[in-house]
Amino acid sequence: MPQSAKINRQILLASRPVGAPTAANFNLVETAIPTVADGQMLLQNKWMSLDPYMRGRMSDAKSYADPVPVGGVMTCATVSEVMESKLEGYAAGDLVMSFGSGWQDYTLSDGAMVFRLDKQMKEPSQALGVLGMPGFTGYMGLTDIGQPKQGETVVVAAATGPVGTVVGQVAKLMGCHVVGIAGGEEKCRYAVEELGFDACIDHKDVGLNDQLAAACPKGIDVYFENVGGKVFDAVMPLLNAHARIPLCGLIAQYNATELPAGPDRTAQLMRLILSQRIRMQGFIIFDNYGNHFPEFLKTMTPWVESGKVRVKEDRVEGLENAPEAFMGLLEGKNFGKLVVKIAD
C-alpha cells in the first residue's frame, strides 16, 4: 500500500517477543496525520532504517534506553522531507535525517536529533547507513577505542553489514591487515573482492577457528565486536597483548531467552583480559560520541564520494514490509545496510 496524503500508517509494538520476534508482535494501523503546533514541524518519512538495536527496544529488560511501550510506534531513524514547519530554522521542502521518527509515514518533530541534509544528495538513504548511525558507530569505535596502528591486524564480525563494512574499509585506509567474518560464501567474496579486505571467514563453516587462526598469523590487535557467540569464541585465543575490543552489539544473543549451554566461562574471559592486558569497551554511539558527528561527516563524506569507502544497501519497498525485513535482519538474511523505502 503506497503512502497517502490523508492518513498516517504506523507500525506498533503489539506485544513483547519471547525469543525471536514474529509477525504477531507488530500491528499496522491507520491514524490521522498529526497537526503541527508552534515549535514543531511535520516530517514526511521517505526512507527508514532497520537496525539490530531495535530488538532490544522491544524488550522491557533494563537497558541504556527506554523500551518501546506496548502499543507504541516502533522506533527508527528516517530520511524525511519537511512538509510544514512552525519551528525556527526549518522550512517546508527541507530534507532532514531524524533519529526519532519511528515506523510511520509522518512524524511530528521538535527538532531534537534532527540533522539537515543536502537537498541535492544523490543517495539520501546513505544518511541512514554509511553517513548515519552505523557508519558513525564503526568509525568512532574503530578510531577512538580500537586505535589501530599501521601493520596491525584488525578483525571485524558481521563484516558486510553497515558497521562492519565501514570498520574494515577504514582500517585498510589506516594500513592494517583486515580480516572479516561474515555469514556465507557470497558475503565473504564481496568483502575481499569489493571492499578490499585481506581475508574473510565464513562463520557457518565448521573450520571457523582454524581458518581465522590461519588468516591472523600475527594474532589479533583489534577486534570490533558486534556479534558475540561462537565468533567471539574463535577470536579469544588469538588476541594479542594490549588488544583492543570496541563492543557495540551482540546480535547473536539478542533473541536468547537463557544463557548458552555449557560451563560458565566468565573466569576464563577475565583471566584473558588481565593476562593480555586487553581493553574491552562497550559504547553507545550518541551517548559517547554525539558531538563528534560533524567531524565524522567531514571525514567520511569525501571517502564515500571518491569511492574509497564503498557502500552496499539492501532495499525493501513499503512500510508494511518492515516487520518481515526486520525479522530477517536478526537472522542475518540482509546483505548490506537494510533500509525501507516508504515514499518517493
Determine the Cα–Cα distance for residues 137 and 165; give it in Å rounded to an integer. 11
To the nearest whole percent, how much of the chain has pLDDT over 90? 74
Residue 24 pLDDT > 90, yes or no?
Answer: yes
Residue 204 pLDDT > 80, yes or no?
Answer: yes
Domain 133-286 of CATH type 2.60.40.10: no
Of the two residues 19 and 174, the one the predictor is more confident about is 174
Class (C level, CATH) for 7-129+312-341: alpha beta
Determine the Cα–Cα distance for residues 142 and 167; give it in Å rounded to an integer. 6
**109-142 pLDDT, tens per residue?**
999 989 999 988 889 999 999 999 999 999 999 9
| Per-residue pLDDT at 290 | 85
**168-195 pLDDT, tens per residue?**
999 999 999 999 999 899 999 999 999 9
Same fold, 7-129+312-341 and 133-286: no
Determine the Cα–Cα distance for residues 332 and 184; give it in Å rounded to an integer. 10
| Per-residue pLDDT at 186 | 94
To the nearest whole percent, how much of the chain has pLDDT over 70? 96
pLDDT band at 297 (very low <50, low <70, confident <90, very high): very high
pLDDT band at 44 (very low <50, low <70, confident <90, very high): very high
Q: What is the DSSP string of 45-60?
A: EEEEE--THHHHHTS-
Q: What is the mean pLDDT of residues 150-157?
A: 97
8-state DSSP, 292: G
- Flag whether the pTM goes above 0.85: yes
**206-262 pLDDT, tens per residue?**
899 999 999 999 999 999 998 777 888 899 999 999 999 999 877 655 555 566 666
Domain ranges of the chain: 7-129+312-341, 133-286
| Per-residue pLDDT at 318 | 96
Determine the Cα–Cα distance for residues 303 and 117; give it in Å rounded to an integer. 17
Alpha helices (H) in the chain, listed in sequence order = 53-57, 133-140, 162-173, 185-193, 208-215, 230-235, 266-275, 285-289, 293-306, 322-330
Residue whose C-alpha is closest to residue 181's, from 223, 143, 149, 150: 223
Contacts of residue 61, defined as CB under 8 A and 6 or more positions apart, other chains included, come to 67
| Per-residue pLDDT at 213 | 97
Q: Grid cell 581475508 — which residue?
A: 199
Determine the Cα–Cα distance for residues 263 and 155; give it in Å rounded to an integer. 26
Alpha carbons within 13 A on the beta-carbon side of 233: 12
Residue 96 pLDDT > 80, yes or no?
Answer: yes
Average pLDDT, the chain: 92
For residue 201, the surrounding DSSP H or E stretch is: strand 199-202
